[in-house]
Amino acid sequence: QDTGNNQVQFMHLDLASLRSVRAFASTFLRQEPQLHLLINNAGVSAGGTTEDGFSLPFQVNHLGHFLLTQLLLERLRSCAPSRVVIVASSAHCAGRLRPESLGRPPSGLFSAFQDYCDSKLANVLHARELATREQGTQVTCYAVHPGFVNTSLFRHAPLWLKPLLLPLAWLLFLDASEGARVVLDCATQDGLEPLSGRYFTDCGPRLPWPAGRDDRLARALWEGSERLVAL
């Protein structure tokens, strides 16, 4: 309604269910011959466990997107040049991924927040490893920190924390349309191909924190993710 574009099509996808991801990919590939851009944007910060037995933030923010990207990758290749944009976060700086315990919720008082940070580090490393593996295919990939955006991401925050978060969000955070700008820049800007795998903010390409530049960890995450989603 806002854009007047009648070519928008809704297709149901629940990243908290690997069964739903597979069903969506199957339906999409059957109905749509073209795919030039995939933006992995969904995110949650709540605790909990999915129907597949993984922590909710790690599956929604990383594993579901990982499986979706893999299932659509051949179509992206056949339609190249094409791009994958993964919405990450500066919260990756606090991520602590351990390949032997991927998908399990961390322990501790702030386990949901740690889980969120771990999933954002996974986003940065996913983009890095995907770019490495897709060299020469004209499929490029970018991880993006959109800034602090006032969305419903933290709607599941503890009740005691909400009185602190909500005024802060209204006063200091970007609105959703502003937060989308850097994501859309990575999706549409000409000449970004040599920067595939890089981490972007509203100031352009930036070095992620050291864990986000760890190629061995990126490979271990990839291989562990393949096992978890049964690829």
Annotated active-site residue in 116, 142, 199, 222: 116
| H and E: helices and strands count for the chain | 7, 5
| Strands 204-206 and 82-87, sheet pairing | unpaired
Taking only Cα atoms into account, the Rg of the chain, rounded to an integer number of angstroms, comes to 17
Supply 196's token pair: 């595939």
In single-letter form, the type of residue at position 65 comes to: H
**How far is C-alpha 68 from the geometric centre of its chain's CA atoms?**
11
Helix (H, G, I), strand (E, B) or coil at 161: coil
Could you give the CA distance from residue 90 to residue 23 in angstroms, rounded to a whole number? 32
Could you give the CA distance from residue 87 to residue 122 in angstroms, rounded to a whole number? 11
Specify whether 142 is catalytic.
no
Helix (H, G, I), strand (E, B) or coil at 85: strand
Catalytic residues: 116
